[in-house]
């Protein structure tokens, strides 16, 4: 399918499509140019105003739990979700192990490798309760530091027999897990913080494996930082968005062709319904289509059968938290930071006038 083969009932339909949709053809994407400036489309005033923005903006939550959230942002320019995505990755602070004091490490893991592994353990401490540590301060204070200790020594299991081969039966404490970490409250932290709300996100994260004679004696300082400093401070495992897919059937597809059409899309996008004793293709839910354009591989399906588009201003946003803060809180914090950045930028513009 090429640009010349797409049919429009009127010039108004063409303008509406170019303003609102990206069209996926076999070899190209149409209407990919920017449209958010006045005069780009005859008869339409696309000037940005705050009133228009507030009227069009919608946020719909699709699913949410303790770690993941999928929601729709509707009526915004791509710059807005992209700014929120970048802020989620690099500008929202979290707590992470940044100082590791090795008093004893006789395991087979080198000190620097072990320290790096410890730094990547996600912590569930609320970063909003802490301050950034001042530069040059090595000791830390209750206001900017969480202290933990990790003391584990592997030993033989006295109840073992010569027939035992499983490490579970042979050794004690041969697996070092995050559950072995112990929080050491500083100052008045014990009165201010709930012990259940401080520590690793999961207690069964494997840190190291040891054998009798191996021992770890480590003190750790968790500090507040952002993803700009190091990826370990990023509060999300992933944060991304994509445009809402739209699949339109231009004619009735039945029988074997309908079954092939269904296989061209992600599961659940196309359903086969009974159409008087024959299977007929029907669009069920285009939301989770990956837009692979496999339909264009079939000569009898790619011409005047399916039209693949994506909504310009409808973004499917996905956030997966590492566990420090719930995903809905992370999104609100990202919006606050974006607002603050805008205020700073406006102040700079005013000061330069």
222 with 106, same domain: the answer is yes
Instruction: Judge if 105 and 199 occupy the same domain.
Output: yes
Q: How many domains, the chain?
A: 3
Tell whether 88 and 13 lie within a shared domain: no
pLDDT of residue 35: 65
| pLDDT for 45 | 76
Q: Are 145 and 156 contained in the same domain? A: yes
pLDDT, one tens digit for every residue, the chain (353 residues)? 444 456 665 667 777 777 888 999 989 988 887 766 666 677 777 777 888 888 999 999 999 999 999 999 999 989 999 999 999 999 999 999 999 999 999 999 999 999 999 999 999 999 999 999 988 888 889 999 999 999 999 999 998 888 888 998 899 999 999 999 999 999 889 988 988 889 999 999 999 999 999 999 999 999 999 999 999 999 999 999 999 999 999 999 999 999 999 999 999 999 999 888 889 999 999 998 998 899 999 999 988 899 999 999 999 999 999 998 999 999 999 999 999 999 999 999 988 76
- Identify the pLDDT of residue 19: 81
* Residue 290 counted as domain residue: no
- Considering 181, 197, 229, which residue would you say is the last residue of a domain? 229
- Tell me how far apart the alpha carbons of residues 320 and 64 are, in angstroms, rounded to a whole number: 10
The answer to whether residue 160 is domain-embedded is yes
Q: Are residues 140 and 189 in the same domain?
A: yes
The candidate with the shortest Cα–Cα distance to 210, out of 108, 330, 131, 97, is 108
Q: Answer yes or no: do 245 and 352 share one domain.
A: yes
155-156/171-172 β-pairing? antiparallel
Which whole-number Å values give the CA distances from 250 to 177, 303, 305, in the listed order?
Answer: 57, 10, 5
Query: Could you tell me if 11 and 59 lie in one domain?
Result: no
Q: What does the alpha-carbon distance between residue 138 and residue 101 come to, in Å, rounded to a whole number?
A: 11
Sign of the C-alpha dihedral computed for residues 273, 275, 276 and 279 taken in this order? negative
206 and 118 fall within a common domain: yes
> In this structure, is residue 333 part of a structural domain?
yes
pTM: 0.86
147 and 36, same structural domain? no
**Residue 189 near residue 142, CB atoms below 8 Å:** yes
Structural domain includes residue 205: yes
131 and 190 in a single domain? The answer is: yes
The parent domain of residue 69 ranges over 48-92+235-249+305-353
Task: For residue 165, give the CATH number of its domain.
Answer: 2.170.120.12
Residues 139 and 14 in one domain: no
């Amino acid at each position: 399918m090429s640009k010349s083969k797409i049919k429009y009932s009127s010039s108004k339909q063409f303008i509406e499509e170019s303003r609102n949709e990206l069209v996926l053809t076999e070899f190209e994407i149409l209407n990919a140019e920017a449209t958010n400036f006045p005069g780009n489309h005859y008869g339409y005033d696309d000037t940005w105003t705050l009133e228009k923005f507030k009227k069009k903006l919608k946020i719909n939550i699709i699913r949410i739990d303790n770690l993941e959230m999928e929601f729709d942002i509707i009526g915004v320019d791509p710059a807005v979700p992209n700014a929120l995505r970048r802020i989620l990755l690099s500008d929202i602070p979290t707590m992470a192990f940044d100082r590791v004091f090795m008093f004893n490490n006789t395991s087979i893991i080198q000190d620097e490798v072990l320290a790096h592994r410890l730094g990547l353990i996600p912590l569930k401490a609320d970063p909003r309760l802490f301050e950034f540590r001042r530069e040059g301060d090595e000791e830390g204070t209750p206001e900017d530091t969480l202290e933990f200790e990790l003391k584990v020594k592997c030993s033989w299991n006295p109840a073992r027999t010569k027939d035992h081969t499983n490490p579970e039966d042979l050794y004690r404490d041969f697996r070092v897990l995050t559950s072995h970490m112990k929080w050491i409250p500083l100052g008045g932290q014990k009165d201010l913080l709930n012990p259940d709300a401080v520590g690793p996100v999961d207690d069964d994260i494997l840190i190291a494996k040891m054998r009798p004679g191996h021992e770890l004696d480590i003190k750790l300082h968790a500090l507040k930082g952002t993803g700009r400093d190091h990826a370990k401070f990023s509060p999300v495992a992933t944060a991304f968005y994509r445009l809402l897919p739209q699949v339109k059937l231009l004619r009735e597809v039945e029988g074997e062709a309908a079954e092939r059409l269904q296989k061209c899309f992600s599961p659940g996008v196309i359903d086969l319904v009974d159409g008087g004793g024959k299977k007929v293709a029907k669009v069920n839910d285009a939301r989770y289509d990956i837009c692979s354009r496999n339909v264009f591989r079939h000569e009898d399906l790619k011409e005047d059968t399916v039209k693949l588009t994506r909504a310009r201003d409808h973004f499917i946003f996905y956030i997966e938290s590492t566990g420090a803060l719930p995903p809905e809180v992370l999104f609100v914090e990202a919006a606050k930071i974006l607002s603050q950045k805008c205020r700073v930028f406006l102040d700079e513009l005013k000061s330069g006038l």
